[in-house]
Amino acid sequence: MLPRERAEKILTLHAAGWSVRAIADQLGHSQVTIRNYINGHRKPGTPAPRPSLLTDPLADYCRQRLVDDPHLRPSRLFKEVADLGFQGSRATFYRALDSRVLPLVDRRKPKSPEGIPQTPVGTSRAFPHRYERIPVLPRRVSPITGETLSSYLGRIVQANHLTTAEVLAVLHPWFSTKIKNPDDRAQHHTLAPAAAQALHELAHLASLPPASLAHALPAFGSAEGPVRATTACHRCTARRSIHQSVPVHLPVHHKICTRHGIWLGDLGEAHLDLSTCPEITTAQHRADRLLRRFTPRQLALAHQIAAKAVPSWPTSPAAVRNHWKYRLLALQTHNHHRGISTDLDSYTQAAIYPDVVALAAEALAHNFRIPARSTGEIRQVVEHGNL
């Protein structure tokens, strides 16, 4: 709970017409906390009636994960927050998810229903060497790292002037079932036994080593840490003569193609050219280096905490030149010339990224708290004690 005067300040600012976000930025508390006081779920000076064990930073983490990865299963999310120190039971977590996280998540795509099992493939017996009777396609198509199975099959079909039905007819039924599921990463137990057989069939058909397919395609279970849905860098794909956008799942911290200086926004958002702000691309290298000492989940949580702590305005006149709003303007101007709308969320995310990575490093070094001196103003980012 917040000190009484601080909680009263929230109500005063709200009454004065401030938005939740502006109050959160000003006072350094999460938007959830601000809303709790504004909506009367919490009263100044009284403790929260039933304290949830899901702290605000963890709730923010969950919200961002569900935005990044619209098909993420709650059971998997539970494992992630448990890994980050959440001590509550699964039931407590699901309750908190329902009441505090899901109402605020704007998911771009409907989530696949958790309770509906996929159609079983009918058999778990292997067909020894069956794949050797599968034709070898004349045109070889290499997968893009993180590519969805349906995108990859679509490109194989297109390059070889076939139809999807023709290709599916020669492959194990595993493929038909798999591409029907909007989340092809789900390793349902009825499908798992046939996965190895399926992998070898596809490798034979495409004339590629099974290991490279398994490594590139998350449908074969390669994605380990938290991932987000986006599209592959359009310059990387253009080099391989692919001119359509390729949906991929990339590790959550992977925001930028560092080879081309391209910001890979959320799925469906245009890529941003970062050439006017090379420090953004440099920050991606810095984030990558943090993974030598911290897990991808820890980095994702620190990123969430840091993004809220980035000051909205320069803290001194000397800081104006380096402030992220300068970068924002430079990015918008440059990309607008490339014909990209200036009202994408990606611009702000990209502009604050160097600050976020710097503050995330501080948060990781200080048990998910950002020392006040780091942002140049007093900010107590984590309000409720340890995570």
Task: Name the segment binding Zn ion (CB under 5 A); options: 72-80, 105-113, 230-238, 376-384.
Answer: 230-238
Q: How far is the CB of 244 from Zn ion (least distance, A)?
A: 16
Task: Name the segment binding Zn ion (CB under 5 A); options: 31-39, 222-230, 236-244, 379-387.
Answer: 236-244
Q: How far is the CB of 366 from Zn ion (least distance, A)?
A: 34
Q: Name the residue nearer to Zn ion (CB basis): 171 or 274.
A: 274
Per CB under 5 A, does 260 bind Zn ion?
Answer: yes
Q: How far is the CB of 275 from Zn ion (least distance, A)?
A: 12
Task: Name the segment binding Zn ion (CB under 5 A); options: 189-197, 210-218, 256-264, 279-287.
Answer: 256-264
Q: Name the residue nearer to Zn ion (CB basis): 1 or 229.
A: 229
- Using DSSP's 3-state secondary structure scheme, residue 264 falls into coil
Per CB under 5 A, does 236 bind Zn ion?
Answer: yes
Please give the C-alpha separations between residue 198 and each of 125, 210, 214, 224, 358, in angstroms, as whole numbers: 12, 10, 11, 20, 44
Per CB under 5 A, does 233 bind Zn ion?
Answer: yes
Per CB under 5 A, does 275 bind Zn ion?
Answer: no
- Phi and psi, residue 344, nearest 5°: -85, 150
> Please, which of residues 206-225 interact with Zn ion by CB under 5 A?
none
Q: Name the residue nearer to Zn ion (CB basis): 67 or 250.
A: 250
From the list 192, 224, 293, the residue with the least C-alpha distance to 76 is 224
Q: At what angle do helices 56-68 and 74-83 cross, to 10 degrees?
A: 140
Q: How far is the CB of 274 from Zn ion (least distance, A)?
A: 11
Q: How far is the CB of 126 from Zn ion (least distance, A)?
A: 38
Q: How far is the CB of 255 from Zn ion (least distance, A)?
A: 12
**Residue 77, H or E segment:** helix 74-83
One residue of 235, 286, 325, 334 binding Zn ion per CB under 5 A: 235
Report which residue type is found at 151.
S
Tokens matching residue 350: 């990209």
Q: Name the residue nearer to Zn ion (CB basis): 264 or 306.
A: 264
The Cβ of residue 235 has, within 10 Å, a number of other Cβ atoms equal to 14
Q: Name the residue nearer to Zn ion (CB basis): 259 or 373.
A: 259
Nearby residues of 258 by Cβ (< 8 Å), 6 or more positions away: 281, 284, 285
Q: Name the residue nearer to Zn ion (CB basis): 195 or 257.
A: 257
Q: Quick one: how many helices (H) and strands (E) in the chain?
A: 17, 5
> Please, which of residues 56-115 interact with Zn ion by CB under 5 A?
none
Q: Name the residue nearer to Zn ion (CB basis): 141 or 233.
A: 233
Q: How far is the CB of 156 from Zn ion (least distance, A)?
A: 22
Per CB under 5 A, does 329 bind Zn ion?
Answer: no
Strands 247-251 and 256-257: unpaired
Q: How far is the CB of 263 from Zn ion (least distance, A)?
A: 11
Please give the C-alpha separations between residue 341 and each of 85, 120, 337, 346, in angstroms, as whole numbers: 40, 44, 9, 11
The Cβ of residue 276 has, within 10 Å, a number of other Cβ atoms equal to 14
Task: Name the segment binding Zn ion (CB under 5 A); options: 207-215, 222-230, 259-267, 279-287.
Answer: 259-267
From the list 135, 176, 139, the residue with the least C-alpha distance to 158 is 139
Please give the C-alpha separations between residue 363 and each of 35, 125, 274, 281, in angstroms, as whole numbers: 24, 50, 26, 21
Under rule CB under 5 A, how many of the chain's residues touch Zn ion? 6
Q: DSSP per residue over 327-360, as a string?
A: HHHHHHHHHHHTT--S--HHHHHHHHHHHHHHHH
Q: Name the residue nearer to Zn ion (CB basis): 148 or 237.
A: 237
Q: Name the residue nearer to Zn ion (CB basis): 235 or 325.
A: 235
Q: How far is the CB of 260 from Zn ion (least distance, A)?
A: 4
Residues found near Zn ion in the complex (CB under 5 A): 233, 235-236, 257, 259-260
